[in-house]
Amino acid sequence: MSMELIFCLVAVLVLAVCMAVVLILHKKQRLHLLQLQESLKNLEQLNFELRAARHDYLNHLQVVYGLLELEEYEDLKKYLTPVYKGIMKTGKALKTSKPALNALLKAKMEEAEGKEIDVYVEVKSDLQKLPVEDWQLCKVLSNLIDNAMTALSETTEERKLEIDINEDRENYLFTVSNNGTAIPKEHLENIFKRGFSTKKESGHGMGLAIVSDIVKENRGNISVSSTEERTSFAVSFQKGEGK
């Protein structure tokens, strides 16, 4: 084989490798862009709702003041109950230093309510020193929450979705739990493998693999436990210097 032919073959191989790398990077950048667009959409919706809520609070105060003057205390209690619940739901989704995460939580809480799922959110950390990109964190929690809602859609009993954001001295801790159908024990060791799914329909088996990839990329840990009463996915990331 002549040197010219060998050189051409090597050049073609190098170009093929370069093209493959470019395509992979392009795919990742496109995915990143789509995720940023989703976060921006959630932020815009949250901003709109906050502005609308601020406008409504004055009206609520006027009604409350009027009912107090009339001494209609029972009607006042009935009026304030849904107002208070609305304020608390918004407040629970605004306790971190991550606007994109706050918007995601608010959007997912509303989506769950539309599916008649009771959502309980506990935020005990502002995530100030979380060394994970906001879009990656949102992708992790979005997939875990969607996975929980899918599990809950299979039960007709009381549906509960719990989201806990916490920290200890060294780590930030995220737990997403539900009281849906338990994951079979034989599936637990494969649950994060790409393409693995307990569903027969196409399109499943990617979300948890994406979550696992992002967690590993950021040197975090993820685990799952499942019983008849509760299924929980727990993610931890080591604290950094903040952003």
- 206-231 residue pLDDT tens: 789 999 999 999 999 999 999 988 99
Count of C-beta atoms within a 10 Å radius of residue 43 = 17
Does 221 map to a domain? yes
Which pLDDT score, from 0 to 100, does residue 202 have? 41
Q: How confident is the model at residue 42 (pLDDT cuts 50, 70, 90)?
A: low
In a domain, 13, yes or no: no
In a domain, 100, yes or no: yes
State the average pLDDT for the chain: 80
192: domain CATH number is: 3.30.565.10
How does DSSP assign 185-201, residue by residue? HHHHTTTTSTT--S-SS
Answer yes or no: is 204 within a domain: yes
> What's the rounded Cα separation, in Å, for the pair 167 and 114?
30
Looking at per-residue pLDDT, the higher value among 41 and 190 belongs to 190
Query: Phi/psi class of residue 16: alpha, beta or left (left: φ > 0; alpha: ψ in -120 to 50)?
Result: alpha
Q: Is residue 205 part of a domain?
A: yes
| pLDDT at site 64 | 78
Sign of CA dihedral 121, 122, 128, 132: negative
Residue 234 is assigned to a structural domain of this protein: yes
Residue 172 parent element (H or E): strand 171-178
Interior angle at CA 205, CA 201 and CA 206, nearest 5: 125
20 is a domain residue: no
Weakest mean pLDDT among 119-123, 171-175, 185-189, 239-243: 239-243
Residue 10 belongs to a domain? no
Range(s) of the domain holding residue 205: 28-238
pLDDT digits (tens, 9 = 90+) for 64-119: 778 888 888 888 888 887 776 666 555 555 578 888 888 888 888 888 988 989 88
Half-sphere exposure of 25 (CA within 13 A, CB side): 6
Tally of domains in the chain: 1
Among 132, 122, 121, CA closest to 98 = 132
Angle (CA) 108-111-114 rounded to 5° is 150
